[in-house]
Amino acid sequence: MVDAKLGNPVNEADGRIRLTVVGAGVMGIGIATLGVSRGLDVVLVDVDPAKAESAPGKVARELRLATLTGALDRDAPLGAVHATTSFDGAVPADAVIEAVVENAAVKLRVLGAVSRAVGPHVPVVTNTSSIPVDELAAGVPHPETVLGIHFMNPAYLVPTVEVVPGSRTSDAIEASASALLARLGRTGVVVGDGPGFVTSRVSHRMINDAIKIVEEGRASAADVDLLMQNCLGHPLGPLRTADLIGLDNLADSLAVLFDRTGDDSFRPAGLLLAKVAAGDHGRKSGRGFYPY
């Protein structure tokens, strides 16, 4: 078990809230950073030893950034973060948040393992941005414990999240999830289940269209973003947003939306797929529609 502390060590007897986050990618690191910044003890699980080993350092860097941006008080008491490659030492937990790749088969496998490990009373949260919660809950031993909470990137800066109960999610689990969000200082907006929920259903079509405009040579990425920012009030512009999401994650989410809805506007643009194939995944890889 890779072990690194950013605050007080975990003490199971002192009543501190313990959160397990599965997946040490961009979203997992962001969610872990949010938890630690709010005084929660966080265990990060990733089967990739390199990702597990580097995770505490990444959380430390994100905490420094959160402090610089004013999202975190310099004197705020921090939780502890630990990283591991297995669930050994990751449970018991007060809640588990799955933040692995946007692939239904992978998520089902992870959520099934989580559900078996934590039992019928712990919230099992999926951070999916596009896959229906009922579809994922159908493959786990305790579907009543599963619900969606769609954190935006970066999780420690965006104060509002989508909350997506499944048709079998119990009232007790919803209440526990609400309490967790309150502890994290997030505002949850409850929405109905379905492909893409609200934010991805609306935003991903727009981003995909913006990519198609660039692909057609009608405007540059910078000009598309400038127009959307200055004419329509989009904070970053759709293509900078795509780079922030991660172009690989965006392509996966669009594929889910296209597959689940049959709406051709969700078919991933050819330029997007070409960038993903070339390894240009956005901010996290150093290049997407912009260099970083």
Q: For residue 87, give both structure tokens.
A: 């669930």
Distance CA 232, CA 224 (A): 11
> Which residue among 82, 121, 142, 150 is the active-site one?
150
Q: To 5 degrees, how large is the angle CA 39–CA 109–CA 33?
A: 20
Distance CA 216, CA 195 (A): 28
SS (H, E, C) the chain: CCECCCCCCCCCCCCCCEEEEECCCHHHHHHHHHHHHCCCEEEEECCCHHHHHHHHHHHHHHHHHHHHCCCCCCCCCCCCEEEECCCCCCCCCCEEEECCCCCHHHHHHHHHHHHHHHCCCCCEEECCCCCCHHHHHCCCCCHHHEEEEECCCCCCCCCEEEEEECCCCCHHHHHHHHHHHHHHCCEEEECCCCCCCCHHHHHHHHHHHHHHHHHCCCCCHHHHHHHHHHHHCCCCCHHHHHHHHCHHHHHHHHHHHHHHHCCHHHCCCHHHHHHHHCCCCEHHHCECCCEC
Strand order in the sheet with 124-126: 81-84, 41-45, 18-22, 95-98, 124-126, 146-150, 160-165, 187-190
- Is 150 annotated in the active site? yes
| Active site residues per annotation | 150
